[in-house]
Amino acid sequence: MPKNCNFIEKLREVGLRPTKQRIKICEVLYNREKTFHFTVNDLVKMISEQMSQKISLATVYNTVHAFEKKGYLKEISIDSQKTYFDTNTSAHHHFFDEDTHELIDCDGSDIDKINIRKTITGKKINSIEVLVRIASDNQNQK
């Protein structure tokens, strides 16, 4: 059974027409064991390597943002200019390696649940994100 059928259904559910390009995007994003992190640029590169015809940047941006809006992707904030996305949409936190610019997932046992005592009237909490910045520890090696 071709896996693409799932993606066609998935796209329909989300209200997107299943086109060649979008199915390809789905394949690259979701046809894998583990969730992963990527930038739009990464994604375009991956797709270009796997397709004969090239895909437009605009299409990738549009589709990725459509997925994000529907909750199939999560955006991650890091100070660099680039926007990272995560195919792991469950609530979790991240380590960011400032040397390699690599993002690493934390699971529930790595960080205790964050308890926010402050409330702001008329506002609800959309999300709580923890970013732990790490870098090589040269202290001991010198």
Binding site for a second copy (CB under 8 A): 75-79, 81, 83, 95, 97-98, 104, 106, 109-112, 114-118, 120, 122-137, 139
Contact between 94 and 36 (Cβ < 8 Å): no
CA distances from 88 to 93, 113, 135 (A): 10, 18, 24
Q: Could you say which residues in the range 43-82 bind DNA, by CB under 7 A? A: 53-59, 61-63, 65, 81-82
Write out the two tokens for 66. Answer: 């459509």
| DSSP string for residues in 56-84 | -HHHHHHHHHHHHHHTSSEEE--SSSSPE
For the bound state, the minimum distance from the C-beta of residue 106 to DNA, rounded and expressed in Å, comes to 23
Write out the two tokens for 26. Answer: 């789905």
What does 56 interact with, of DNA, a second copy, none (CB < 5 to 8 A by kind)? Answer: DNA
What does 36 interact with, of a second copy, DNA, none (CB < 5 to 8 A by kind)? Answer: none
Contact between 65 and 20 (Cβ < 8 Å): no
End-to-end CA distance of the chain: 57
Site string for DNA, 78-117 (x = CB under 7 A): ---xxx----------------------------------
Nearer to a second copy, 18 or 65 (CB): 65
Summarize as ranges the residues that interact with DNA (CB under 7 A).
8, 12, 15-22, 39-41, 53-59, 61-63, 65, 81-83
